[in-house]
Amino acid sequence: MEPAALLPTEPEFPKKTPQLFIHERGNPRQVLAGLCNLVVSCERPYEDVAEQIEDVSYELCETGSCEPVVGQLGRVTAFFEQLDGKNDEQCRDLADVYLLIGQIHQFAGKFEESISWFDRAAIVDDLYSEPFHCLAASYRQLHDNVKTIRSLEQELSLAPGNYYSYLLLADAYEEEGRTDDIEACLQGLLERDPENLQGLHRLIRHYERTDPSIDTALLKRRLMGVYKEFNRIEAVIRSYYLCRERLFADAIGFLDTWHRRANGATTINLLVMAHAYGELRQYARRRRTIDEFKKKNHGRTDVMTTKLGEFAAVFGDDAADALRKLLLFNER
């Protein structure tokens, strides 16, 4: 009687320990090759060195050396691809390497190439939401709204907790004129995160644009009733609704307090304060605030334009144009 065929066995990895392979010095190409060698020789599980592989990969890419990175990572994908009887953890590891290669192509502006790698990641682990988020980002860059929407919908079906993806999906729906889908998307976000200020703001503005007969008073009260540690955009949104109620002094006071708590991490608050001073006809203070904004951004037109874009996204183009004139530049 023929002996039973041996079942394929999984490679035996040492138990995970923190900070297994740290290279603070040395040639980055050699470091990356060494890290990949640890994986393909079964000396270390991929997850133990994944963060270091990613760090060194991007370090090389920032110097224009993306092709050698892809070559080294290709050795790791080949190892996992040829591994018989992969378990779920090894499938996820393979998907993660595919993702990293795709993200490197994104970093290099090769969006079409990145898509093929993200597709591979989605195929090898069809319960992994991250490949679909990355696919949406590449399709967005290629101005393919249909596939952007499809990717984001798939991501949210697998991992419905990513609020940023809801907002991206609402943007894509808006560009396609899918009004009902915008509402459903934002409502879905608020069902999961009732205090999401961006979602509340977007839904209020959506109703105001598409059906002014809808009473948004409850939504506005709900938004203004949120008290938490605000991020940059949330602070701008809250100040916007204070300004809509013509509570300009309150908006200035809120932003001043928020800015001190945020340790001066941003300067967009100065644009909002300049707008509020203008509405209060305190023109000297508005000028000083504008000057402070320019000084803190070192007069860089590109940086100030980005901040103006964030301001305009909440306060509107007219308010942003008025500040742009005061800043004495016009990028249009």
Whether 136 is covered by a domain: the verdict is yes
Residues 154 and 172 in one domain: no
Whether 41 is covered by a domain: the verdict is yes
Torsion of CA 186, 187, 190, 192, to 10 degrees: -110
Residues 249 and 324 in one domain: yes
pLDDT by residue for the chain (332 residues), tens digit each? Answer: 333 333 333 444 344 333 444 445 578 999 999 999 999 999 999 999 999 999 999 999 998 889 999 999 999 999 999 999 999 999 999 999 999 999 999 999 999 999 999 999 999 999 999 999 999 999 999 999 999 999 999 999 999 988 999 999 999 999 999 999 999 999 999 999 999 999 999 999 999 999 999 999 999 999 999 988 899 999 999 999 999 999 999 999 999 999 888 776 678 999 999 999 999 999 999 999 999 999 999 999 999 999 999 999 999 999 999 999 999 865 54
Q: Which long-range contacts (CB under 8 A, 24 or more apart) does 69-75 make?
A: 69/32, 69/104, 70/101, 70/104, 70/105, 72/32, 72/33, 72/36, 73/36, 73/97, 73/100, 73/101, 73/104, 74/101, 75/36, 75/40
Residue ending a domain, among 228, 246, 265, is 228
What is the reported pLDDT for 10?
41
Residues 85 and 201 in one domain: no
Residues 38 and 113 in one domain: yes
Whether 17 is covered by a domain: the verdict is no
What is the reported pLDDT for 6?
37
Residues 47 and 146 in one domain: yes
- What is the DSSP-derived secondary structure letter of residue 44? S
Residues 37 and 124 in one domain: yes
Determine the Cα–Cα distance for residues 69 and 66; give it in Å rounded to an integer: 5
pTM of structure:
0.82
- Collapsed DSSP state (helix, strand, coil) of residue 280: coil
Whether 5 is covered by a domain: the verdict is no
Residues 40 and 76 in one domain: yes
Residues 148 and 245 in one domain: no
Residues 213 and 249 in one domain: no
CATH number (domain holding residue 136): 1.25.40.10
What is the reported pLDDT for 261?
84
Whether 233 is covered by a domain: the verdict is yes
Residues 178 and 113 in one domain: no
Whether 12 is covered by a domain: the verdict is no
The angle that helices 317-326 and 268-279 make with each other, rounded to 10 degrees, is 90
Whether 198 is covered by a domain: the verdict is yes
Residues 153 and 174 in one domain: no
What is the reported pLDDT for 265?
63
Residues 151 and 167 in one domain: no
Task: Pinpoint the alpha helices (H) of the chain.
Answer: 28-40, 46-61, 66-81, 88-107, 111-124, 130-141, 145-158, 163-175, 179-192, 197-210, 217-224, 232-244, 248-261, 268-279, 283-296, 301-315, 317-326
Residue ending a domain, among 228, 257, 282, is 228
Determine the Cα–Cα distance for residues 150 and 173; give it in Å rounded to an integer: 11
Residue ending a domain, among 159, 183, 210, is 159
Domains held by the chain: number: 3
CATH number (domain holding residue 249): 1.25.40
Domain interval for residue 39: 26-159
| Selection from 194, 121, 187 nearest residue 158 by Cα | 121
Determine the Cα–Cα distance for residues 3 and 220; give it in Å rounded to an integer: 74
Whether 4 is covered by a domain: the verdict is no
Identity of residue 301: T
